[in-house]
Amino acid sequence: MTNKLQKALSYGSAIATVLAVSPASVLAEDINLQDIDPQFANVSQITPQRLLTFMINGLLIVAGLAAFFFLLIGGVQWVLAGGDKEGTEKARKRITNALIGLAIVFSAYALAFLIETIFKIKILSFTIPTIVP
């Protein structure tokens, strides 16, 4: 077997193993939107402020998950580098960048929560004031 084919098979098997034991594969089931957020049970109940709040929270969750998966991929790369300096360096950079990303996401969430607590300004639950004629 060539070295490139061997590396490709080892990466593929590592990724397949991670996906096979991930919580998403264990908890796979039909998702009801009402179970996730009862405020979206009926389409007529969707308001711009609820949608914006949902999008902000969703964006923070997706960014955190992306950083976590990059951290996981960097760890797998490190293990599969097998002492290769170039492979180990790439894995180290990926892990460092993923940790920086996680720190930024958690800091943004913590800062928003802190502002909400101290100044009583709702950032994570966005409200649009209504204009009364």
Break the chain into its structural domains and give their ranges.
1-30, 43-133
Write the CB contacts of 74 (distance below 8 Å, at least 6 apart in sequence).
91, 92, 93, 94, 95, 98
Residues 70, 97: contact at Cβ < 8 Å?
Answer: yes
- Measure the CA–CA gap between 31 and 131, rounded to whole angstroms: 36
Write the CB contacts of 116 (distance below 8 Å, at least 6 apart in sequence).
122, 123, 124
pLDDT for residue 25: 46
Residues across the chain: 133
> Tens of pLDDT along 80-93?
988 889 999 999 99
Residue 42 dihedral angles phi and psi, to the nearest 5°? -125, 135
Q: Which residues of the chain have pLDDT under 50?
A: 1, 25-26, 28
